[in-house]
């Protein structure tokens, strides 16, 4: 496995922001996909037009590695086309820049899409093999 430089410390990589702050109904991990149901964030398991990517709680000392507990406030960033993020990627996924297409899993992580491709969420923007170590489980993506 080749790791160049440091891994992302934030989810939002492009500095743009279109967020909604509300309470989480379930435990969420920064970089995972979520959407709002009945006023609360829940995990997204498929591509949805209202999907958001969970931000880390860096404003209160949290990091990209710190899970957000059910009942806590959570900020989700709208996943508009072209946006750049450090998303939570399933362990063992091999990312190839501008080649690896990614889809949502049942846990809100992303994994390689093998078809059908109508559920593709993003494309990798780096060459990286995601290890099982949580500290290195975020891969750089561009939303399609």
Contact 125, 101 (CB under 8 A): no
Residue 114 belongs to some domain of the structure:
yes
Residue 99 corresponds to which tokens in the numbers above?
């080649």
Percent of the chain clearing pLDDT 70 (strictly above): 93
pLDDT at position 60: 66
Contact 74, 56 (CB under 8 A): no
The conformation of residue 118, written as its DSSP 8-state character, comes to: G
What does pTM read for this prediction?
A: 0.90
CATH number at residue 118: 2.40.300
Domain span at residue 56 reads 19-143
Report the distance separating Cα 90 and Cα 4, nearest Å.
Answer: 19
**pLDDT tens, residue by residue, 46-89:** 889 999 999 987 766 678 889 999 999 999 999 989 999 999 99
CA distances from residue 62 to 10, 28, 33, 59 in whole angstroms, order as listed: 10, 13, 18, 7
Residue 8 belongs to some domain of the structure:
no
Residue 4 belongs to some domain of the structure:
no
């Amino acid at each position: 496995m080749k790791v160049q430089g440091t891994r992302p410390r934030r989810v939002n990589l492009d500095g743009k922001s279109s967020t909604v702050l509300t309470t989480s109904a379930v435990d969420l991990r920064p970089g995972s996909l979520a959407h709002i149901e009945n006023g609360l964030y829940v995990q997204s398991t498929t591509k949805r037009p209202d999907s958001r990517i969970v931000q880390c709680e860096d404003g209160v000392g949290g990091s990209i590695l710190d899970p957000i507990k059910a009942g806590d406030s959570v900020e989700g960033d709208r996943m508009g086309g072209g946006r750049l993020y450090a998303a939570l990627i399933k362990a063992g996924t091999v990312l190839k820049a501008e080649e690896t297409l990614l889809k949502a899993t049942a846990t809100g992580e992303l994994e390689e899409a093998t078809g059908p491709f109508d559920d593709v969420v993003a494309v990798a923007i780096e060459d990286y093999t995601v290890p099982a170590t949580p500290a290195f489980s975020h891969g750089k993506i561009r939303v399609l």
